[in-house]
Amino acid sequence: MSIENYEEWVQWCKVNLQRGCCVEEMVQLICKEGVPLNYVKELLGDDYPDHLDFNLLATVAITRNPKVKKIDTDKAQIFWVPHFMIPSECEQVISIIDSKLRPSEVTASNGDDLFRTSSTCYLEEQSHPFINVLDMRIAQTMGLPSFNSEPIQGQKYDIGQEFKAHTDFFNAGEPDYGRYTTPLGQRTWSFMVYLNTTPKGGETFFEKLDMEFSPQQGCALVWNNLNTLGFGNSSTLHHAKPVLEGCKYVITKWFRTRSFE
Ligand SMILES: O=C(O)CCC(=O)C(=O)O
Ligand SMILES: [Fe+2]
């Protein structure tokens, strides 16, 4: 082992493990200090979580499915799934969402009340037989187990409503990181389905890639929020642009690292 401050890192790991700190957050913080991953694994020994295989995560089934379109960029893994749901399925989910809606919340308030103005609801698997079918279809398409992913979330945007530029992963070092990542771990892949074709506006805009996607009924937009070291990929910054005409309905499912265990 030949990194600077080795003994200090050993102590730091010991103290923070004893304090019950989130190991994933520790891994990210040590990596951020420039310590290579193989040393981080050595420092944490048996406490290094085996489920953190981000290379495996980057090669899950959806990345190898010929019916899925890979978006042409080397900065992020983004996929477009045409006809993931048929129109009657979309209509059915829209009516379930309409019966459950409440205004959306953001995970950490940033002081901007207009940051996310859509309405939201959770669609737990047991809430409706079709939601269970959908949950399994999403997991199968991803090639990831659905347990330890978040329940499907439904959202509706009316005219003028949006979700300003944000990333879906949680930032290590931020005050609520531990709370958000316990017990499911970091967010990995985002799987979003457009339930209707919005006549104008409502595009999902990846500003760092200068790419945007218009809501098309039944199509899914899917992206990996992490890079192969497990860090949040800042190129996945995205903005759900304001709806200009009609409305927009989406469902989203976020997978988490602990689904690997
Ligand atoms: O509605 C969209 O286009 C994106 C939604 C989104 O980014 C989210 O819910 O995290
Ligand atoms: Fe998002």
pLDDT score at 58 = 92
Q: Which ligand is nearest to the CA of 250?
A: 1
Distance CA 187, CA 181 (A): 8
Q: Which superfamily is assigned to 78-256 in CATH?
A: q2cbj1_9rhob like domain (2.60.120.620)
Average pLDDT value for the chain: 89
Which residue's CA is the nearest one to ligand 1's atom 9?
252
pLDDT on residue 109: 59
Mutate to test the pocket of ligand 1, among 156, 203, 248, 252 (most ligand atoms within 8 A of CB): 252
Task: Name every protein residue with a CB atom under 6 angstroms from any ligand 1 atom.
Answer: 163, 168, 192, 204, 238, 240, 250, 252
The answer to whether the beta carbons of residues 122 and 152 sit under 8 Å apart is yes
pLDDT tens sequence across 66-119: 999 999 999 999 999 999 999 999 999 999 999 998 777 766 656 777 788 889
pTM here is 0.84
In DSSP terms, 206 is beta-bridged to 211
Atom index in ligand 1 nearest the CA of residue 203 equals 3
Written in H, E and C, the secondary structure of 234-249 is: HHHCEEECCEEECCEE
Measure 254 CA to ligand 2 centroid, in angstroms. 9
152: β partners: 123
pLDDT of residue 4: 77
The pLDDT value recorded for residue 244 is 98
Minimum CA distance residue for ligand 1 atom 4: 240
d(CA 257, CA 189): 9
Q: What is the pLDDT of residue 224?
A: 98
Ligand 2 centroid to residue 8 C-alpha, Å: 38
Closest ligand 1 atom, residue 166 Cα: 7
Alpha-carbon dihedral angle through residues 122, 235, 115, 253, given to the nearest 10 degrees: 0
Atom of ligand 1 nearest to the CA of 213: 3
> pLDDT of 125-146, one tens digit each?
888 999 999 999 999 999 998 8
Query: If DSSP codes are grouped into helix, strand and coil, which group holds residue 24?
Result: helix
pLDDT for 52: 64
Q: Identify the three-state secondary structure at position 152.
A: strand
* Integer CA distances (angstroms), 62 to 139, 164, 211, 254, 257, in order: 10, 27, 20, 15, 17
Residue 49 has a CB neighbour count (10 Å cut-off) of 17
What's the gap in Å between 14 CA and the centre of ligand 1?
39
Residue nearest to atom 10 of ligand 1 (CA): 168
Boundaries of every domain in the chain = 6-48, 78-256
Residue 206: CB atoms within 10 A of its CB come to 23
Low-confidence ranges of the chain (pLDDT < 70): 1-2, 50-52, 106-110, 259-261
pLDDT of residue 161: 94
> CB within 5 A of ion ligand 2: which residues?
168
pLDDT at 222: 98
Closest by alpha carbon to 185, among 247, 254, 136, 125? Answer: 254
Which atom of ligand 1 is least distant from the CA of 250?
1
